[in-house]
Amino acid sequence: MGKSNQQRRAAKRRRRAASNAAGRSEPNRPADDPGADAGERQANGDAREATARLLVAGADAAFGDNVDESALDHVVQSLVVRSASEPAQLAAVLATDWLLQLTGLLWENGWQPIDLAHMVRRHQGVRGSSLITAVIGQQALRAGLADRAPAEWTAQLESLGVSSGARSTAGPPVTSDWLITAWLAGRGIPIWDGWRDVLKLIGQLQNLHRLTPLGPPPSAWKRTASKAGSAGTRPPAASAARRDPPAEHDPRMLSKIRALLSKAEATTFVEEAEAFTAKAQDLMTRYAIDEALLEDSAGEAEVAARRIHIDNPYAEAKVQLLSTVGAINRVRVVWDDHHGMASVVGMAVDLQLVEMLFTSLLVQATRALTEAGNAPPAQPGYRSGRLNRSPSFRRAFLLAYATRVGERLAEAGRRAGAEAGSSHGTELVPVLARRSEAVDSAFDRLFPETREIRAKRVDARGWQAGREAADRAVFAAGQVGGG
C-alpha cells in the first residue's frame, strides 16, 4: 500500500474515532432523547459533529506529518470561542472522551502506562507529561481497572502517581468527566496554550504504532482472573511472558543490594566504592543462584519481559551497554529506536539484577563522561575539555565503555560460575541451561524478526577514554552468571 493511501486511511480512522466519541458524549441529554424536540436534537447533533471535526483538524495540524501552525491556531481560536459560548463545555467533553478512547485502544495494542508516559514526555515535555498522567488516571478510573489489573500494571500506575481505582494523585483532582477543564484549571494553564497541548496529545496518541504485547491486555484481565482459581489452569498466552512476576523470596536482600550500589555510585572515593561493591557482589551471587535453584525445584522458573526506556542523547550507545549486561546474564535485549524503548526478556530475577546493574553502570559512565569533558586539554589550541565534549567523542566513549565492561563482566562471570559450581555441584549446570533455552524460545516467539545494530566508525580518542573509564568502573559481579 502506498504512503498516500496509508495516510488517507489513517485520516479516515481518526475522523471515525472522533465521530464515535461525539456520538457517545452529550453533556446534558442525548440528541435522541424523546423529551427534546426535533429542532433541539438536530442542534445538539450539529454541535457535536462540528466540534468533532474541529478536534480532528486540530489534532492533524498539531502532530505528525501534516503539522501546520497556522491551521492549529485557527482551530484553537474556534475551540476557545466555543468553550466560552457553551456552558456545557462540549469541546472539553468530546476531547476527554477521545483521549480516553485512544488510551484504551493503546492498552489493547501492547502499550503499558509507563510506555505511554515515556513517549509523551519524549516529545512534549513536562506539561504534556502531566496531561497524559491525568488521562491515564481517569481512564483507569472509568474502566474500573482497580480489581482487575495485574501487579506489574498496578506498580506502573503507582510509579506515575496514579491509582487504578481512584483519581490521579499526580495532577489536579478530577471530579467530573470533563478532564480537560479540570486539568486546565488545576494547572493554571491559559486556555489557548492548554488546547494546543490537548490537540498535540490527541495527535500523538492516534499516530502511535502497535507494540509487541508483553502480557494480556485489559480486555483479557477479567477472563484471566476468573480462571486463576481453577486447578491446573494458567493465564492465556497473549505473550511468552507470565502475567505477574514471581514473588520475591527475600525482598530484604534486594533492598540491601540496592543500598550498596547506591553508595558505590554516590562516593567519590575509589576504595570506598570498591568496598560497597564487593559486599554487593557477594549478596548478588548468593541471591541469584539461590533463586535459580529454588524456582527450578518448585517448577516456577518462567520467563518474564519488560521494557526499559532509554533517552537521548546517545541512546544507541546506552543500549549497547544494556545489551552487554544482559548477554552475560542470559537476558535478551531488542531495541526499538523509534519509540526509545528496549524490551528485555529473561527470568524475573535476572531482569531485576540486570536493570539494577545497568542503571548503576550508566550512572558511573555518565559521571566519567562528564569528568572527561572537564579534563585539561590534551592538545594545544583547545580550551579545557572542549575537544572531549564533541558528539563523536561522547558516542565513542560510551560504546567503548560498554565493550570493555562486557569483557570484565564475562571474566567475572567465569569466576562466579566456577565458584558456584563447586558449591552447588553438578545440579547448577542443567538448571542454568534450561533457563537459557526457555529465554531464547520466549524471545523468538515475541520477536521473530530482529536485526543486529550495525557497527559505526567512532572517534579513536573517545574509544580509548571509554575503555579506561570502564576499567575504573565498579559493578556487582554477582549479577553475572548467577541465575
Q: Per-residue pLDDT averaged across 282-305, rounded?
A: 79
Q: Per-residue pLDDT averaged across 317-331, rounded?
A: 88
Alpha helices in 229-347 (DSSP H): 251-266, 270-298, 315-328
Q: Which residues contact 362 (CB under 8 A, 6 or more apart)?
A: 318, 321
Peptide bond just before 377 cis, omega within 30 deg: no
- Which three three-digit cell numbers place residue 426? 553438578
* pLDDT tens-place string over residues 129-187: 999 999 999 999 888 887 789 988 999 999 998 865 544 444 444 445 578 888 888 88
Q: Per-residue pLDDT averaged across 288-293, rounded?
A: 79
Per-residue model confidence (pLDDT) at position 371: 76
Q: Per-residue pLDDT averaged across 53-67, rounded?
A: 94
Residue 109 has pLDDT above 90, yes or no: yes
Residue 442 has pLDDT above 90, yes or no: yes
The sign of the dihedral angle between the CA atoms of 186, 192, 195, 199 is negative
Q: How many CB atoms lie within 10 A of CB 242?
A: 20
Give dist(CA 407, CA 414) in Å, integer.
11
Q: Per-residue pLDDT averaged across 293-320, rounded?
A: 88
Per-residue model confidence (pLDDT) at position 356: 86
Per-residue model confidence (pLDDT) at position 304: 94
Per-residue model confidence (pLDDT) at position 112: 96
Per-residue model confidence (pLDDT) at position 324: 87
Query: How sure is the predictor about 234, in pLDDT bands with cuts at 50, 70 and 90?
Result: very low
Give dist(CA 281, CA 408) in Å, integer.
14
As a whole number, the mean pLDDT across the chain is 77
Give dist(CA 295, CA 289) in Å, integer.
10
The whole model's pTM is what?
A: 0.77
Give dist(CA 464, CA 148) in Å, integer.
52
- Which three three-digit cell numbers place residue 121? 514526555
The sign of the dihedral angle between the CA atoms of 184, 185, 188, 190 is positive
Q: Per-residue pLDDT averaged across 229-247, rounded?
A: 38
Pick from 346, 301, 303, 348: which is nearest to 323 by CA? 346
Q: Per-residue pLDDT averaged across 26-46, rounded?
A: 54
Residue 34 has pLDDT above 80, yes or no: no
